[in-house]
Amino acid sequence: MSPSEEHEESGGRWRLRERRRVARIACAVLITVLTAATEAVPGVAAAATVTVSASVGVRASVSAPHARGEIALRFALAQRGKPYVYGGTGPSSYDCSGLVQRAWRVAGVRIPRTTQEQARTGAAVPLGKVRLGDLVIFYHDASHVGIYAGHGMVVVAPHAGAVVRLQEMRWMPIYAVRRPR
């Protein structure tokens, strides 16, 4: 074997080891995401699929009932106590639609910035079928939004002088419920 062939072979082994290392890291990240998604709501079952091709390309997917909504909710809950600032999109302050947009972006879904646009995004959901993470739009002019947290509660960035918090939905007239896709 010539020196150039030997070098090429050792480089190929190095690339294969590197691809395997990347695949292991990707699997660890997937497990972390799965754990976070299932811990968001007790009793939620999740499954993962990891495919490693012959070239050691990694493709992974997470499937859990309502996982994205639960991830968005978990993020929003973690923002509690941060101040409301008009136009705020995080990470240190939020307005209502900025909080919702950022939470869903963390869950892997891009939604529009304003409450009125959010009131038209995704699928309409009857109030009786609301799920964790759904957008709850308030007032006839769709001027306020929160993230459904269960048991009649929403996570909201309510108004100037207030902080992100859990609040009962019944204190505001509900205009629509939307489920981002």
Return the pLDDT at 151: 96
Return the pLDDT at 124: 97
Return the pLDDT at 20: 74
Helices 67-78 and 96-106, packing angle to 10 deg: 130
Return the pLDDT at 74: 96
Q: What residues does each domain of the chain span? A: 3-63, 67-179
The residue ranges of the chain whose pLDDT is under 50 are 4, 37-48, 50, 52-56, 58, 60, 65
Return the pLDDT at 12: 66
**Measured distance CA(9)–CA(6) in Å, rounded:** 5
Q: For the segment 10-57, what is each residue's pLDDT rounded down to a tens digit?
A: 666 767 677 777 666 655 555 555 555 444 444 444 444 545 444 445
Return the pLDDT at 30: 57
| Class of CATH domain 67-179 | alpha beta
